[in-house]
Amino acid sequence: MSERNPTVTEADLHAFADGLLPPDDHARLEAWLAENPDEAGMVAIWQAQNAGIKQLFAPYEISRENDRELVKPAAAQLPAPAPPRRWLRMAAASVALFLAGAAAGHFGPLLLTQPELRLAGIEALPRQAQSAFIVYASDVRHPVEVGADQEAHLATWLGKRMNVANLKVPGLQSLGFQLVGGRLLPINGAPGALFMYENAAGQRLTVLVGTNKDNTTTSFRFSSTGTVETFYWIDGSLGYAVTGEISRDMLRQVADECYKQFSS
């Protein structure tokens, strides 16, 4: 946790991300995050993960007529006295439940890697890209960690952190966007890169690059959250996402140009 304000704990940040703070505390944390972009980025990623989890289990949010039977007065919930010697079966059931819970804890991560349940795969990429754009593109004083005047250092530093040889910083001058700089970001629990660009009108867009452990490949896909739009794709060991509040046609042109340069 940053030492700039020791009264803000990680528990506070989690409560903020989960929407559990009272209005006054929420406003205080919101103001603090505006001055602490690194922590704000982390909170934004937590919020995106929360949204992904809710979306994943949304199909199971189905109410049924007998749901009220699940909530009864306390007296009605008291179990009947167990008959003699039934405690042996109850103890065995308790052990079985414990072992099932332990197995779920051990094998749960493996189950979540299945394509239909995986949260950290390609569908998580646009959410993380959109969260990063919302947090950093609006920042006036510190939108990036390394400026465009140190482009070579930026590429070397981020490539080393990501363990990617010859990481490229796309040039988008032909489309009217100049490099602002870049920063290191956590993407799916691993180091990732975020490059930021700006045009003459002051519009910004970001290009996110993250490690793809599944080593798959996809065509362009599109995702939209409000006015923030993203084109994203997977190419081998890396995933890419181009995000901005610009026309979809221009964003697609930027994605095409980035794809050409990253692939060359």
Interval 136-194: pLDDT, tens: 999 888 899 999 999 999 999 999 999 998 999 999 999 999 999 999 999 888 899 99
Residue 74 clears pLDDT 50, i.e. is over it:
no
Instruction: Quote the pTM value.
Output: 0.57
What number of other Cβ atoms are within 10 A of residue 223's Cβ? 17
Residue 93 clears pLDDT 50, i.e. is over it:
no
Least confident stretch, 25-29, 59-63, 107-111, 192-196: 107-111
Question: In which band, very low, low, confident or very high, does the pLDDT at 263 lie, cut at 50, 70 and 90?
Answer: confident
Q: Residue 209's domain spans which residues?
A: 124-263
Query: What pLDDT is recorded for position 55?
Result: 62
Name, in order, each residue with C-beta under 8 angstroms of 119's C-beta and a sequence gap of 6 or more.
Answer: 49, 52, 53, 56, 112
Give domain status of residue 244, yes or no: yes
Give domain status of residue 1, yes or no: no
Give domain status of residue 222, yes or no: yes
pLDDT digits (tens, 9 = 90+) for 11-44: 788 888 888 888 888 888 888 888 888 788 788 8
Domains in the chain, number: 1
Give domain status of residue 85, yes or no: no
Indicate the length of the chain as a whole number.
Answer: 264
260 by Cβ neighbours in 10 Å (0-12 / 13-18 / 19+) ranks as exposed
State how far the alpha carbon of 63 is from the alpha carbons of 58, 71, 72, 85, in Å.
12, 13, 17, 38
Give domain status of residue 38, yes or no: no
Give domain status of residue 237, yes or no: yes
Query: What pLDDT is recorded for position 73?
Result: 53
Give domain status of residue 145, yes or no: yes
Of the chain, the end-to-end C-alpha distance in Å amounts to: 40
Give domain status of residue 234, yes or no: yes
What are the φ and ψ backbone dihedral angles of 237, each rounded to 5 degrees?
-85, 0
Mean model confidence pLDDT for the chain: 78
Q: Where do we find the tokens 């692939």?
A: 263
Least confident stretch, 26-30, 46-50, 213-217: 46-50
| Dist. CA 30–CA 36, nearest whole Å | 10
Say which amino acid occupies 114: Q
Helices (H), 58-183: 74-77, 87-111, 124-136, 151-162
Helix and strand element counts for the chain (H, E): 8, 6
Any idea what the CATH number is for the domain that residue 198 is in?
3.30.200.100
What are the φ and ψ backbone dihedral angles of 37, each rounded to 5 degrees?
-65, -30
